Amino acid sequence: MFTSSPFSVLSVLTALTLTTALAVPLTSSTAPFQADVPAGWAQRAYPNDLPGILVIAPGTPPPVVLQLFYAPYKSAGNDAKALAEFIGGVEGSMIGDGRGTVKRLSTRSVTVGGVKGTQREYDLTVKANGVTVHTNIWYGVSARNLLSFQATSAKQATQTQKGALGKMLSSIKFK
């Protein structure tokens, strides 16, 4: 039988905080960047052989998922237009053929690893079950890639888990 004492609760909370506070490098050597992500989070290849990495917080369902996506891109001289089209495509995919709704909460310019980009926050609601998740995405165009670095968090995510994207973005170094 589990008994709750202040010491055991404090130990569990400390362990959980350390798990999400310590940073480890991405294990992918094919990514065109390096980044530090929370220790204890699973790192997986993007599904369907797409170029990217998923970093998943422990838990079922996971309270936070980081998605680091990159698509080969060769600049034709109008990166602002390419970025706008890329953002439009990602936002369109979030709707999922009408299966969800997207509410944009904020937009701001943010430079990550020397690459200027746009960061947007959204609330996404799935129409079938009414579940809403919070998504924060940084979009950018590097010399060789279109980039989107995203955190999707559920209601049960802790503040430390929700802050994982910002910490990761501050550690990005492009190869």
The pLDDT of residue 128? 86
Q: Can the peptide bond before residue 61 be classed as cis, meaning omega within 30 degrees of 0?
A: yes
Residue 15 confidence (pLDDT): 35
Q: Please give the Cα distance from 157 to 17 (Å, whole number).
A: 12
The whole-number mean pLDDT for each consecutive block of 10 residues of the chain, a chain of 175 residues, reads 33 35 79 94 92 94 95 86 94 86 96 96 92 96 94 94 95 94
Domain locations along the chain: 6-174
**Which of these CATH numbers, 3.40.1000.10, 3.20.20.10, 2.60.40.790, 2.60.40.10, describes 6-174?**
3.40.1000.10
So what's the pLDDT on residue 2? Answer: 32
> Whole-prediction pTM value?
0.84
